[in-house]
């Protein structure tokens, strides 16, 4: 995981900053975007192994960002983050090609496990 590049996308700035810090401490190269537009700009300019994407954001939603990622055939694995009551969006995202979805509040070890699984799955394709 130490050579993996991860993009975290969430409009809750404190949450995404704290999560990035926790991943950085574990040696995971992490970038942050706080909205869909910023995420798409970063995705256009560099390749990420995993994109952790909040489903519900103002402006461009996480599902729309996912749709654009898939339309451009960007090879990054996408893990969606959903809040309580938005599991329907998580399931819809998986139909659209997301690797998986996790519920907030997030367990850091579960997230890292899903990131490892998604990278292994991409390598075996």
The pLDDT of residue 37 is: 97
In a domain, 112, yes or no: yes
pTM: 0.95
Specify whether the CB–CB gap between 56 and 83 falls below 8 A. Answer: yes
Q: How many domains does the chain have?
A: 1
The pLDDT of residue 29 is: 96
DSSP classification of residue 106: P
3 CB contacts (<8 Å, ≥6 apart)?
Answer: 29
In a domain, 125, yes or no: no
In a domain, 58, yes or no: yes
Beta bridge partners of 51: 7, 78
What range defines the domain where residue 26 resides? Answer: 5-120
Give one DSSP letter per residue of 42-108, joined into a string.
Answer: HHHHS--SEEEEES--SSS-HHHHHHHHHHTT---EEEEEE-TT-HHHHHHHHHTT-SEEEESSPPH
In a domain, 56, yes or no: yes
Task: Cite the beta strand spans of 57-99 per DSSP E.
Answer: 77-82
pLDDT per residue, tens digit, the chain (125 aa), is 778 999 999 999 999 999 999 999 999 999 999 999 999 999 999 999 999 999 999 999 999 999 999 999 999 999 999 986 678 899 999 999 999 999 999 999 999 999 999 999 988 87
Specify whether the CB–CB gap between 35 and 58 falls below 8 A. Answer: yes
The pLDDT of residue 85 is: 66
Phi, psi (degrees; rounded to nearest 5) at 76? -65, 140
CATH number, domain of 65, equals 3.40.50.2300
């Amino acid at each position: 995981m130490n050579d993996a590049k991860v993009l975290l996308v969430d409009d809750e700035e404190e949450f995404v900053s704290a999560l990035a810090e926790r991943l950085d401490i574990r040696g995971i190269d992490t970038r942050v975007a706080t909205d869909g537009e910023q995420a798409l700009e970063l995705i256009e300019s560099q390749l990420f192994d995993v994109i952790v994407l909040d489903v519900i954001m103002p402006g461009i939603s996480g599902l729309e960002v996912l749709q654009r990622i898939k339309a451009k055939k960007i090879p990054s694995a996408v893990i969606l983050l959903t809040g309580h009551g938005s599991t329907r969006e998580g399931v819809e995202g998986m139909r659209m090609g997301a690797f998986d979805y996790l519920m907030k509040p997030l367990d850091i070890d579960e997230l890292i496990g899903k990131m490892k699984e998604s990278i292994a799955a991409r390598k075996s394709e």
